[in-house]
Amino acid sequence: MTPVSAHPRQVLLDAQAAVPVLPVCDHYSGVEQRMRKSLQLQQEMAQEFGHCVFDVTLDCEDGAPVGAERAHAELVARLALQAAPGARVAARVHTVDHPAFVADVDTIAGQAGQRLCHLMVPKVESVDDVLRAERALDAAGARQLPLHVLIESSAAVHRAFEIAAHPRVQSLSFGLMDFVSAHGGAIPASAMGSDGQFEHPLVVRAKLEIAAACHAHGKVPSHCVVTEFNDADALQAAATRAARQFGYTRMWSIHPAQIRPILAAFAPAAQEVSQAARILAAAQAAQWAPISDGGVLHDRASYRYYWQVLERAHQTGQALPPAAQVWFSDAATMAPSA
């Protein structure tokens, strides 16, 4: 019999327990001053919310000056090592076929692998690219480091399920602008905008394939950037559609002003958080047997959904009802399995 005190994650997720719980926002910066400011902002918001609410990915692909790739990689490694305790810092390296790729991985993962939460590899086309990245990480002594991959072409979309199935891959991101430009003008520039990217059939298909592949294999689908970073309403609308209609549980930020709107868009409504806490408290008291709430039957299938609501509320810095707060204390989340 399952103990009444068993943690919901232990009881409910069973086969899904390996699905990573990641912050809903992944913030990218590649210029030294902006990288330092991003890490400082991460620390400030972690103090505000009580835990880290967004990742900082230090960018070597678009951030590194041409010809100074090694120096930039060394800078990224230093910044990762200097990050505050509890910081979630990642790095985006060059593509696996770029001359700087191996040196990127050797320098960053070799020097600061223990401080990184993951390594992002752009323009992944197949599982072979994942295997090349995995071998490079292993050679650098970072066997524990997960891989995040960026899907940016129709061929990669076609192989998204195979890529997502690889055990080292933790998340798939959609690279909108490269995807559009890879079509030789067949997709109009409007499809790169905050509205058009949710309307053009080829872009919509790519987004849905990536999200479906991730959910099929217990990985995290990460939505592309919104380039209109001065338009808060456009960002909020795009993030909300990505979360509510396209199945994404994470999104890129390219400007500090985008972080809070992304958190808000991916957060569940306060009423749903209260409902989830009430239902799960009653379920725990019933030793996770079926219960009735307001005349509606609930069992482990719906309990699992409501637990995911609470996890998302916690990830996005939402206030949790007292009944749910105990499940997110350090002691509770580190409790052994029942």
The pLDDT score that the predictor gives to residue 329 is: 76
The domain locations on the chain are: 25-266, 269-333
pLDDT digits (tens, 9 = 90+) for 314-326: 999 998 999 899 8
Residue-by-residue DSSP string for 94-162:
--TTSTTHHHHHHHHHHHHGGGEEEEEE-S--SHHHHHHHHHHHHHTT-TT--EEEEE-SHHHHHTHHH
pLDDT band at 5 (very low <50, low <70, confident <90, very high): low
The pLDDT score that the predictor gives to residue 4 is: 53
The pLDDT score that the predictor gives to residue 335 is: 37
- Give the SS3 label for residue 291: strand
Contact indicator for 103, 72 with CB cutoff of 8 Å: no
pLDDT band at 12 (very low <50, low <70, confident <90, very high): confident
pLDDT band at 53 (very low <50, low <70, confident <90, very high): very high
Return the higher-pLDDT residue of 335 and 108.
108
pLDDT band at 330 (very low <50, low <70, confident <90, very high): low
pLDDT digits (tens, 9 = 90+) for 156-165: 999 999 999 9
Which residues are bridge partners to 175 per DSSP?
A: none
Task: Tell whether the model's pLDDT for residue 17 goes beyond 70.
Answer: no
pLDDT band at 14 (very low <50, low <70, confident <90, very high): low
Contact indicator for 108, 79 with CB cutoff of 8 Å: no
Contact indicator for 149, 124 with CB cutoff of 8 Å: yes
The pLDDT score that the predictor gives to residue 227 is: 85
The pLDDT score that the predictor gives to residue 334 is: 37
The pLDDT score that the predictor gives to residue 18 is: 56
The pLDDT score that the predictor gives to residue 231 is: 87
* Distances 222 to 74, 148, 204, 328 between C-alpha atoms, Å: 27, 10, 14, 24
Task: Tell whether the model's pLDDT for residue 277 goes beyond 80.
Answer: yes
Backbone angles phi, psi at 148, to 5 degrees: -110, 140
The pLDDT score that the predictor gives to residue 21 is: 87
pLDDT digits (tens, 9 = 90+) for 65-124: 888 999 999 999 999 999 999 999 999 999 999 999 999 999 999 999 999 999 999 999
**What is the homologous superfamily of the domain 25-266 according to CATH?**
Phosphoenolpyruvate-binding domains (3.20.20.60)
- Chain-centroid distance, C-alpha 30: 18
Contact indicator for 247, 209 with CB cutoff of 8 Å: no
The pLDDT score that the predictor gives to residue 121 is: 98
